[in-house]
Amino acid sequence: MRFMEPSMMTSGLQTIYDLAGLKLGGFNFLEPQFLPPQFMAATRYSREVITNWQPRFVLLRDILIVVWGINLINWVLLGGALRQLCVPRRTIGLISVPITPLVHDDPDHLFGNSLYFFIFGWLILLRGIPDFLIITLVIALVDSLGTWIFAEPRPNFGASGIVYGYFSFLLFSSFFDRDIISLLLAIVVILLDWAMLRRLFVNSPNTSLEGHMFGFFGGILAIFLLPTLRAALIS
């Protein structure tokens, strides 16, 4: 069941965009000719998905349990050795492609990313678990591969790329979903932490500029790939 019919969603979103002054240069960017056909259908946020919170909580909880478990083993038993696998452009560094988002420097680093992962992940899970898994996989691959190819040859790791991917997906998906709920989620993300855009361009010995930027780009790419990957998953 939908909260409202697609025509009502479009009408409501149109009104909000017009009031916000997003009818740029006399062109209405919500008209079909300005949007790819695959984005014309409204996103399906069902009452069942939104109100049935237990599966979303369990999924996020289990992911965080696994990530914390891996890092506790790395810190306590391995002396942080996994960090040395996450060096770009080393042959052994290819191992880091699947593990880069999992490895963290210390508990403070992991706690900060865990908090944002849970909040933004929860918002994306409003679309349903299949969409969440597709979006996360796209972001993780783009972030890890981009970092491995372009980042400085020093350990680059952490889930901040995933977090930035979630951030960009939630921020920009409303332009393509043409869905009032997507727009509201974008507003929530802005209110939660607009300063993330400023931190996106910070480069220091303790942060990975490439990791943040490729994660951010991965979130935008996921918007375009999601309809195709969702259809392939269903078929």
- Amino acid 137: pLDDT: 95
CATH homologous superfamily of 49-234 equals Rhomboid-like (1.20.1540.10)
Residue 219, sorted as left (phi over 0), alpha (psi -120 to 50) or beta, turns out to be alpha
What residues does each domain of the chain span? Answer: 49-234
Question: What helix, strand, coil percent values describe the chain, rounded to 5?
Answer: 70, 0, 25
- DSSP state letter for 92: G
- Amino acid 154: pLDDT: 81
Give the pLDDT band (50/70/90) at residue 200. confident
- Amino acid 68: pLDDT: 97
